[in-house]
């Protein structure tokens, strides 16, 4: 699959089969994601790979909305960045890694979905990142950007089609 094909094919997937990811797939996903560019090449991003069924079930409740399906995936990747390296670009650096992770999943024929951590709230009212820190022993100086469940798609998806791209592209000025 070409990069262009992966970009067009990538869709948010929330239904997965029970088939586990292989160690080779997990390694390919993590390595490709972490090869992303970063500001000043500081490479602050790190990933926690979760495959334990009980932890995935717990992870599906780290925030009160839009995370409930995480336990349907055989793996989830927590994408975070060490703010001690270069805090002012940590959102961008971890977002690029998250994007590359999802594109690699598409390239491997897998499905994924970006589950945002920023601004999320657990059902007990605590910030979602605080909950993740507690559950996964993440130090306070790590910014937690996203949780990305990845697995074999239960249903096929169709490529994204934009009918209004010409309206979104501006030349020289708005």
Q: Is the pLDDT of residue 159 over 90?
A: no
* CATH T-level topology, domain 3-155: NADH Oxidase (3.40.109)
Residues of the chain with pLDDT > 70: what percent? 100
Residue ranges of domains in the chain: 3-155
Whole-number pLDDT of residue 156: 84
Decide if 129 contacts 120 (C-beta within 8 A): yes
For all residues of the chain together, what is the average pLDDT? 96
| DSSP characters over the chain | --HHHHHHH--B---B-SPPPPHHHHHHHHHHHHTS--GGG---EEEEEE--HHHHHHHTTSSSSS-TTGGGSSEEEEEEEEHHHHGGGHHHHHHHHHHHHHHHHHHTT-EE--EE-TT-B-TTSSBHHHHHHHHHT--TTEEEEEEEEEE-BSS-------S-HHHH--SS--
- Per-residue pLDDT of 44-68, as tens digits, reads 999 999 999 999 999 999 999 999 9
Q: How confident is the model at residue 161 (pLDDT cuts 50, 70, 90)?
A: confident
- Per-residue pLDDT of 109-127, as tens digits, reads 999 999 999 999 999 999 9
Whole-number pLDDT of residue 6: 92
- Per-residue pLDDT of 14-47, as tens digits, reads 999 999 999 999 999 999 999 999 999 999 999 9
Whole-number pLDDT of residue 75: 98
Higher pLDDT, 156 or 153: 153
């Amino acid at each position: 699959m070409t990069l262009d094909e992966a970009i067009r094919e990538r869709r948010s997937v929330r239904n997965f089969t029970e088939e586990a990811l292989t160690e080779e797939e997990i390694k390919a996903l993590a390595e490709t994601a972490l090869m992303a560019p970063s500001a000043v090449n500081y490479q602050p991003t790190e990933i926690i790979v979760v495959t334990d069924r009980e932890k995935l079930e717990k992870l599906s409740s780290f925030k009160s909305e839009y995370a409930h399906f995480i336990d349907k995936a055989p793996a989830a990747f927590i994408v975070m960045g060490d703010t001690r390296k270069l805090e002012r670009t940590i959102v961008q650096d971890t977002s690029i890694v998250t994007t590359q992770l999802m594109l690699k999943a598409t390239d491997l024929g897998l499905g994924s979905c970006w589950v945002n951590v920023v601004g999320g709230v657990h059902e007990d009212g605590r910030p979602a990142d605080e909950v993740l820190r507690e559950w996964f022993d993440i130090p306070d100086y790590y910014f937690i950007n996203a949780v990305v469940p990845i697995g074999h798609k239960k249903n096929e998806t169709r490529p994204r089609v934009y009918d209004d791209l010409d309206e979104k592209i501006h030349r020289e000025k708005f």
